[in-house]
Structure 1
């Protein structure tokens, strides 16, 4: 970031490119499969997660940034390891165990990293 708090121009270009690519992919998905309640809810969750990631990266500082990164990654893992298998009719336990282990390990690493690394 610059002194005034505005993002750097290179970072702005990357953000715009990512949002444009995501918009095109969602539009193609809607054109191929149609619009239903599940796809609208999934799109809203992904867009909210994208805005949350952008906020964390642009507006927070260490150590809060690292803990928020772990929380967002844990949320994304929960979507992939717990919610998606449940939507497909698969079992819950393997995804729940993997999610707990990965999220716990990331949180443990974050505590260790923030305790040992200087600001």
Structure 2
């Protein structure tokens, strides 16, 4: 799962971690700009949306997110941090022209962003999940 991200917003650089309850991530708007949205939900936070920072792609396809009216978005980050199966973290640069897929979930006036993740295809993969990365 994605545990940290680095991005630029309004000329400033940010490095955020999901463990911070105030963490936000930028998403591409229809007009081509970026808007900050709260990243996931922690157990200490009020609300009705799911706990966690990620949405598994197979659960999206299975319809488990349908009740929160999911909207696919592009997350505008330059790098992300992953934690491997042994608990070690590592930063990965996202090449220019590539995006991390996100999902915006809604419940009444609550709106949160989740990183869409997939399971690595390799049997000897170091990570249980990986952000879904795609080209523009």
> Which TM-score tier does this pair reach, normalised by the shorter chain?
under 0.3
Q: Give the greater-gyration-radius structure (CA).
A: 1
Q: Which has the higher strand share?
A: 2
TM score, norm. by length of structure 1: 0.23
TM score, norm. by length of structure 2: 0.21
Q: Which has the higher helix share?
A: 1
Q: Flag the structure with more relative contact order, 1 or 2, with Cα contacts below 8 A and sequence separation at least 6.
A: 2
